[in-house]
Amino acid sequence: MYVAPLQQAIAQTTTATNSKAFLTYENNSTLGIKIQYPSNWQMDNYSNKVAFFAPSLGN
């Protein structure tokens, strides 16, 4: 799991890459972070941090 500080606006868009949809997390802070992640992953913001979670494989 990767966790990064959340400092400013977040923008999410859907794009098609290799027939899979991705969302874009963008942090416009001084670091200028931009991450594409699979649309079936969950992104959560808490305590000025952001986390990405892959879907469960099931039980």
pLDDT of residue 5: 56
Query: How many Å from the N-terminal Cα to the C-terminal Cα in the chain?
Result: 20
Would 58 be classed as within a structural domain? no
pLDDT tens digits for range 9-53: 444 555 454 547 999 998 877 678 899 999 999 999 887 788 999
Would 19 be classed as within a structural domain? yes
Distance, CA of 25 to CA of 11 (rounded, Å):
6
Would 49 be classed as within a structural domain? yes
pLDDT of residue 1: 57
pLDDT tens digits for range 7-20: 444 445 554 545 47
Select from 58, 25, 27, 22 the least CA-distant residue to 40.
Answer: 22
As for how many domains the chain has, the answer is 1
pTM over 0.85: no
Would 41 be classed as within a structural domain? yes
In this structure, what are the phi and psi dihedrals at residue 6, rounded to the nearest 5 degrees? -105, 115
Provide the residue range defining the domain that includes 18. Answer: 3-53
pLDDT of residue 40: 94
Would 59 be classed as within a structural domain? no
Residues making up the chain, counted from first to last: 59
